[in-house]
Amino acid sequence: MRLSIVLPAGVLAAIATSSLAATIAVTRVVPTYVTPSASVWNMDSLAACSKPVWPRAALRAEQSGPVTLSYQIGVDGHVVDSAVLQSSGFPLLDEAARQGLLRCTFERKPGGAAAVSEWQRMQYVWSLEGTSGGITPALLSAADAGAIEAQKRLGELAVTAAERLHWTEMAALQGDAASQYRFGGMLQSGSGIAADPAEALVWLRKSAEQGYAPAENMLGVAYFRGVVVPLDYAQAALWYRRAAQHGDASAQLNLGDLLASGRGVDRDDAAANDWFRKAAAQNLPRAQVRLGFRLAHGIGMVRDDAAAVALYRLAAARGDATAQNNLGFAYETGVGVTRDYTEALRLYLLAASQGESYAESGLGGLYEHGWGVTANMAMALKYYHLSASHNNPAGLRQMGVVNEFGRGLVQDPVKALDYYEKAARAGDQRSMQRLALAYGRGELGVAPDPVQAGQWQQKAQTRYTVPPSTYPGP
């Protein structure tokens, strides 16, 4: 469908998107109109307005024709009133065009007179030529007749959440697995319909049982998280495996995580790595980070720092914050790549801008030592504190260090102890070792306590007895 506008003085533009309303009067008396050339408003502003949505009922009936409208521009540039001067002959089209004008906003002409309220008029032509956003009477007719592909297409082209829901539900009710999955997602998120997680799971299961891989994976996520269904790692692994075998990259990653951690399945690092490789080969950044981390630590495979860096680089180029941080750390330490503090700084900044707390701690280290940047303890403390506020183990530990030794602030062993304990509880091995030493010697304001010292030393020694599975979970 071709939509066109005819304006005085040949000005052409678009009208704002609208919704349907009741039938209105065909004519209306309005004050004298101002010509575009005499107006204080720039008539080209209409071009910034989007076109009205063709009413579905009118489109089904193949209604078309020109409608002439008047509209009042208020002193703030917004259209405050509009009316039909000459009808297209179809009330639905008239009202759609009229409501569209009410959503338009005009800008004053540069250097023009003071803003005033004024009336303008225009003609909008609804013409059945070509398509309107890809929606045609034939497509609507096919969807109404039950054609699943037509319903799916209308769901994709829908402007409103309600329309999208309607056509997706129609296709889902006819058994289309992809539509059942999408309909379940709408019920889960409350998109165009009241959220209903239990009903969402019903549709997700319908789709999964037809072998639709994204649904199989999400059903696995439901069992992994205990959403609506009881938490069950074995069931999560079952559905992840089905989706992974059907080629779903997210499921391959999720199954790899379960195999790496031994949840719901026997731990198998070699099998985990195989699934990580499959997901990474599909350019899933998180999988590339997983595989890179395991290569860097030699988990279930021969350690290969250069290969790890290559994987981090791929994921970092796609904006993955963890990859940017890990690649920055490689450049800072010179492991797997030539040391380059400037590049480390750039990557840490990119990752930190996305809230990556390890990168925040990394930036603190660069500023403290003056690596790749002028040394600035105030900036170092800023980033250490930011990282610690996100409960990052490294950031918490560094706040312990600066408080213990009074770097850039007043020395405070009590605060240092508190930060070390928080870092240790967050899994930081070096903080566990410092606490063992403190309790063994009676440092950081605590009395000697051999029992506490032994407990922290034991935790530190067993922290990596089982290699980390690298960020387990979907």
The confidence band for 106, taking pLDDT boundaries of 50, 70 and 90, is confident
At 339, the pLDDT band (50, 70, 90 cuts) reads very high
Strand, helix or coil for residue 422: helix
Helix (H) or strand (E) holding 69: strand 65-73
pTM summary value: 0.73
Q: What is the pLDDT of residue 117?
A: 87
pLDDT digits (tens, 9 = 90+) for 6-23: 444 333 333 333 333 333
Identify the helix (H) or strand (E) that includes residue 123.
Answer: strand 118-127
Give pLDDT, residue 347: 97
**pLDDT over 80 at 293, yes or no:** yes
* Cα dihedral 204, 208, 210, 211 sign: positive
The rounded mean pLDDT for the chain is 87
Distance CA 366, CA 364 (A): 6
Higher pLDDT, 74 or 242: 242
Between residues 107 and 402, which one has the greater pLDDT? 402
User: Tell me, what amino acid is at 67?
Assistant: V
Q: How far apart are CA 305 and CA 313, in angstroms?
A: 12
Read off the pLDDT of residues 22-42 as tens digits, 9 standing for 90 and up.
333 444 454 678 888 888 888
Among 96-100, 172-176, 187-191, 294-298, whose mean pLDDT is lowest? 96-100
107 DSSP β-pair partners: 42
Ramachandran area for residue 362 (φ above 0: left; ψ -120 to 50: alpha; else beta): alpha
Query: Predicted confidence band at 129 (pLDDT cuts at 50, 70, 90)?
Result: low
